[in-house]
A and B are shown apart, each in its own frame.
Chain A
């Protein structure tokens, strides 16, 4: 007898897809927004319930999604890691939509808004499927759905240079998709499987026996390159700042904090469930990722220092944060992986919050130029205070969420006796401070700020409540980080094996 909660993964994916079919049929804009937000809330609730059900026993179950069983049929695999990731993604997405509602009203044309909500439903469905699926070809199909959805949410605001940003995103993303598809084709050819468990067993056998080494290696390389391009790791990062600075606020938040993370979660699954971490270590793929991660940590920060556009600065900072995650994965140790997963969550929450706050600042100060935001501190104190908290969290000041993830990463580096990572971590933290502090100081303590009237352009509560919730999460997770760390460690126990 199947326990009821084991249906939740498939149920969440199916209701998201069903909502994606219904939403475009609704002509009423408000109704579409209500359906989408309630869908995301339902998925969030379901994922949290699922986590609560499986955490005590640390259960990992396989759900047979179809008539046929394992090697032929399609499967979903769910453990604590997957359910926590799904909860985090749904949570961040929900508040990104709430926080950006005002800008959505302004940025979208009446005709396209229900399609925008449809794409949000599809994005949610595809991210859930990427997290849960145990079949690599299913993952590929949902990667493509995710990609098209991401194109649309970047392009939806048909102002400024969103078309150009979409074209650039399209080109790199399609190259990556081609690589991933070819990699899957090669893997299928040499092993005859698409199911992750059977792939793992066959690849272990092949690698030990020494036959077909080159094809497996090529497939692993292609898969890595494809997924890192899609998650904007350093040499392939150029699309991210352009796309997320041009798009509307909700899109930027979702693009920077969720879409890139979905691919990183898949990469972790591919490393640990398909190729096996021993293989990845032996072939030096993890070292290559580590090197690029470290370069990204520094390069992203340096690039962010040169930006004058607030959204571009935040997006460039994403590049450096994604570098942190890859450096953690590249350590190929349990501690490094735990630090990387913790940073995925930290960055998802903080970056979404920052984009929403930036959107708020832009709409009230009527400029995107950081140099012109000289009196923003006193004029919108609540918004500015939240920006400061987010910035401090990104820099890694104690008592905030970002500190914990940097602490974890530093511990992982010390554990692996990796001096390079510690130096890079210190340098990157200093660089982070050097680009987050000037706008804050300028906004709060410049000549204009001292003479400006207070509270003149503070956004009303109903426009910033979701930012407040996200900021509270950042503070609370910083103060009480132990449960989340414990949760991640239990969840990763299955992956590490």
Chain B
């Protein structure tokens, strides 16, 4: 337990994760939410990337003249790369969605948006009746 927490990078990434998480959850602005999402993902990438580092390790490519007893773990880097691709595509989708929202309703604030949609519905109902 103790040595798990000794890595202070883990502390930072957990704090960053919490910041991103809360930003995505609580912020009312779509753009801020997307920024929060990216902070959250980046925190996990930091966490993973740090875990792959081995003290004094070299890159895990075995060539003549590049032999060592200690190598850096390459798997987390692979995971981070995959994660980045996923995160980028989700961000792209979210930005496209926000653009559509802004074009249609003229706002990126969730509360205002809810209000507008509710009013539209009410008007529609009274129009039908």
* A interface residues (Cβ-Cβ under 8 A, vs B): 137, 140-141, 144, 147-148, 151-152, 155, 161, 163-164, 166-167, 170-171, 174-175, 177-178, 181-182, 185, 188-190, 194, 211-215
Contact = CB atoms under 8 A, between A and B. Distances in A.
Contacts of B106: none
Nearest to B121: A161
3 closest A-B pairs by CB: A178-B40, A144-B86, A189-B51
Main secondary structure of the interface of B (DSSP, over half): helix
B90 A212 contact: no
B126 interface: no
Given A141-B86, A161-B121, A181-B83, A170 B44 contact: no
B79 interface: yes
B6 interface: no
Contacts of B25: 171, 175
Given A175-B24, A211-B1, A188 B113 contact: no
Contacts of A181: 41, 44, 83
26 contacts: A137-B82, A144-B86, A144-B89, A144-B90, A152-B93, A163-B100, A163-B101, A163-B104, A164-B113, A166-B97, A167-B30, A167-B97, A167-B101, A170-B97, A174-B94, A175-B25, A178-B21, A178-B41, A181-B41, A182-B43, A182-B44, A182-B47, A185-B79, A190-B4, A212-B4, A214-B1
A175 B21 contact: yes
Contacts of B104: 163
B35 interface: no
A166 B99 CA distance: 13
A157 B17 CA distance: 34
Nearest to B39: A178
Interface residues of B, number: 38
Main secondary structure of the interface of A (DSSP, over half): helix
A212 to B, nearest CB: 6
Contacts of A166: 97
B31 interface: no
A152 B94 CA distance: 11
A174 B86 contact: no
Nearest to A72: B75
Contacts of A175: 21, 24-25
A148 B97 contact: no
A32 to B, nearest CB: 21
Nearest to B83: A181
B48 interface: yes
Interface in B112-129: 113-114, 117, 120-121
B8 to A, nearest CB: 15
Contact of B93 (A151, A182, A185): A151
A185 B47 contact: yes
B51 A188 contact: yes
Given A148-B89, A175-B24, A163 B97 contact: yes
A194 B75 CA distance: 10
B110 interface: yes
